[in-house]
Homo-oligomer: A and B are copies of this chain.
Amino acid sequence: MGDADRTATGGEADSGEVPFRRVAIVGMGLMGGSLGLALRERRPGIHVTGIVRRAEQAEDCVALGASHAATLDMAAGVADADLVVLSTPVRTLIAQIPEVARHMRPGAVLTDMGSTKAAIMRAMAQVPWPIQPVGGHPMCGKEVAGLEAADATLYEGAPWPLTPLERTDPAATAGVKALVGAVGGRPVMLEADRHDRLVAAISHLPYLLAVALVEVADEVADEDELVWSLAASGFRDTSRLAASDLSMMLDILATNRRYVAAMATRLHRQLGRLVVALEAGDAAEATDLRPRLTEARDRRIAWGLRKKA
């Protein structure tokens, strides 16, 4: 399709030319800033405008090359965009949808980078017909937030679910797919509800586990402070997500409560079963513990190999 420098990472990345000449990104933190940097590097013909809340941020966007222009004026910033990308925390983003849509030109495409999709798509379903909504969720990140951490390579190889509405023009969806492919992401088409259920298991549940693990370590530390100085690489990796950005995580949990609670309940049950097997001792080791640990190990190794492939 003439898209010669597109990163070939499998998935549904066969996406053709990016049909947008002007892109407006609302929120220039880690995610929005990285998208701006990646577009400017890989698609220099596309004009990028950043919409931010403070004057210093606007200066930084332009100085860092994350956007050609930057403004605090939402109406002016999105008015002539062919594509508007919402890149603020989920509940902020939902609140911004009506205002943004009001100022977009008819036929322009509206996408987002929020980590849950059903609540966002309900809000997008309310925007007037000529606007074309295509929900999106780049599945990548960093421990540090903010424009300073933005990175043009952040999206390389990242799964990027897209959740258009039934009413969305297929050409708008194809355009967003092309944009995702252009910055190295792997577009995955799925329904918003299905997305939320799956990410509850593999993204939001790991966060809750990390929090609960830190809480247990902290409880133990109240009894014996040495615990923190013994914690090593296993604790580091398993607890890493507990350090995630709080506004982002609270918004995610609030808009995906039902599925996150369901997945946490499943984990609660599995952990309970592991404790029973453990307490049953040697007899249970051969019949229950070993087969379970073996299967989990094999699944995890197979997943790791598949990710590398």
- Taking beta carbons and an 8 Å cutoff, which residues of A are in contact with B? 11, 139-141, 158-159, 161, 188, 190, 194, 197-199, 201-203, 205-220, 224, 226-244, 246, 249-250, 253-254, 257, 260-261, 263-268, 270-272, 274-275, 278-279, 281-282, 285, 289-290, 292-297, 299-301, 303-304, 306-307
User: Are the C-beta atoms of B203 and A243 separated by less than 8 Å?
Assistant: no
Q: What are 27 A-B pairs with beta-carbon distances under 8 A?
A: A140-B233, A194-B224, A201-B216, A201-B220, A202-B235, A203-B230, A203-B231, A203-B232, A206-B235, A206-B239, A207-B234, A209-B238, A210-B238, A212-B267, A212-B274, A213-B267, A214-B299, A218-B296, A219-B266, A237-B237, A239-B300, A242-B296, A243-B301, A250-B293, A253-B278, A261-B275, A264-B271
Bound: A159/B232 CA distance, A: 8
Secondary structure of the A contact surface, majority rule: helix
Residues of B with C-beta under 8 A to A206: 213, 234-235, 237-239
Cβ of A270: which chain B residues have Cβ within 8 Å of it? 212, 215-216
Please give the distance in Å from A291's CB to the nearest CB on chain B. 11
B293 & A211 in contact (Cβ 8 Å cutoff)? yes
- A272-B268 in contact given A202-B232, A303-B231 (Cβ < 8 Å): yes
What distance in Å separates the Cβ of A10 from its nearest Cβ neighbour in chain B? 9
Contact of A281 among B140, B242, B257 (CB under 8 A): B257
Residue pair A296, B211 in contact (C-beta under 8 Å): yes
A198 lies within 8 A of B227 (CB) = yes
CB contacts (< 8 Å) of A297 on chain B: these are 242-244, 246
Besides the known contacts A158-B232, A212-B267, A261-B279, 4 further A-B residue pairs in the complex with CB atoms under 8 A apart: A188-B229, A203-B235, A211-B274, A238-B240
A136, B206: Cα distance in complex, Å: 32
A274–B264 CB distance below 8 A: yes
Residue contact B260 to A216, C-beta cutoff 8 Å: no
A254 vs B235: C-alpha distance in the bound complex, in angstroms? 20
Q: CB-nearest residue of chain B relative to A238?
A: B206
Does A278 contact B303, Cβ atoms closer than 8 Å? no
Q: Are B285 and A254 in contact (CB under 8 A)?
A: yes
Instruction: Evaluate whether A217 and B236 lie within 8 angstroms (CB atoms) in the complex, with A188-B226, A250-B285, A257-B279 already known.
Output: no
Inter-subunit contact A217/B201 (CB<8 Å):
yes
Query: Is the CB–CB distance between B285 and A275 below 8 Å?
Result: no
Residue of B nearest to A142 (CB): B233
Cβ-neighbour of A213 out of B209, B226, B293 (below 8 A): B209
Greatest chain B CB density within 10 A among A139, A213, A224, A241 is at: A213
